[in-house]
Amino acid sequence: MSVTNPSSYHHGNLRQELMTLAEKHLLENGSNELSLRALAREIGVSQTAPYRHFKDKNALLAALATEGFQRFFDYCKASEEEPRSELGLMYFGLAYVKFSQQHTALFHLMFGPVLQPRNQYPELFAAGREAIYKVRQQVEKGIKNGELRPIDNIASVAHTVWAAVHGVTTLLLEQGETFGYQRNLDLQAEKSLRILLSGLCIDPSIIAELPTEPTAYPPTK
């Protein structure tokens, strides 16, 4: 009678187990220390078993980052369901900040330099495109409804919004204490978004009507 030791790759949903454990290691030690063979040993499967699901470590990280985008999209539901584009963009920005706070290691993986060039990872690339498309939809709707300034190059506006939100989020995450923002990142993000939206809105006074505290907005998750 033959015995396989360690256990064969038929180990329940090994792919998901690898991703779950990889996220735990990512949070604790970062991506550099991650190893498919080490994950296999910890799960209790042969060291070649993970390669039936991921060709290398970066393929696993790309799958994890893609799943991160799907989680982020859950945070964006309030933005997508909001009929007023200025509020929708505010919700998007606050969702971005909230996601980065609650999933910081995953956020850095999704937007950091580890998985470059992105076009080598088609599913991750598509998820990133979907994210910017959500911003573009809000901008298009706002211009169509007469809420935002009529600008011909909608893609440029969407990228500007994204760049501003990402810049604020990254500064708050990495330099928040330096800027005195450590205690209330949501509030500082909301103030920054007001400045951005004031420049985009046809009637900037509308921004003054928005809630003044992030807690007044729909929950992002």
Distance from chain centroid for Cα 212: 25
Report how many helices (DSSP H) and strands (DSSP E) the chain contains, helices first.
10, 0
Q: How much is the pLDDT for 36?
A: 96
Q: Kindly report the CA angle at 86 between 91 and 125, in degrees rounded to 5?
A: 55
State how far the alpha carbon of 102 is from the alpha carbons of 118, 162, 169, 204, in Å.
Answer: 24, 19, 12, 31
Residues 204-218 pLDDT 10s: 887 777 776 666 667
Q: Tell me the C-alpha distance between 136 and 117, whole Å.
A: 23
Residues 165-174 pLDDT 10s: 999 888 888 8
Name all domains of the chain by residue range, CATH numbers in brackets: 14-54 (1.10.10), 64-216 (1.10.357.10)
Radius of gyration, alpha carbons of the chain: 21
Q: What is the mean pLDDT of residues 62-89?
A: 94
Structure tokens at 78: 């309030």
> Please, what is the end-to-end C-alpha distance for the chain in angstroms?
52
Residues 131-155 pLDDT 10s: 999 999 999 999 999 999 998 899 9
Look up tokens 């997508």; give the residue: 80
| 46 close to 14: Cβ distance less than 8 angstroms | no
Average pLDDT, the chain: 87
Q: Tell me the C-alpha distance between 71 and 67, whole Å.
A: 6
Q: Tell me the C-alpha distance between 217 and 210, whole Å.
A: 9
Q: Is the pLDDT at 8 greater than 50, yes or no?
A: no
Angle, helices 85-102 vs 57-75, to 10°: value is 140
Q: Is the pLDDT at 78 greater than 50, yes or no?
A: yes
Structure tokens at 216: 């007044």
| 44 close to 11: Cβ distance less than 8 angstroms | yes
- pTM, two decimals, is 0.86
Q: Kindly report the CA angle at 167 between 197 and 170, in degrees rounded to 5?
A: 130
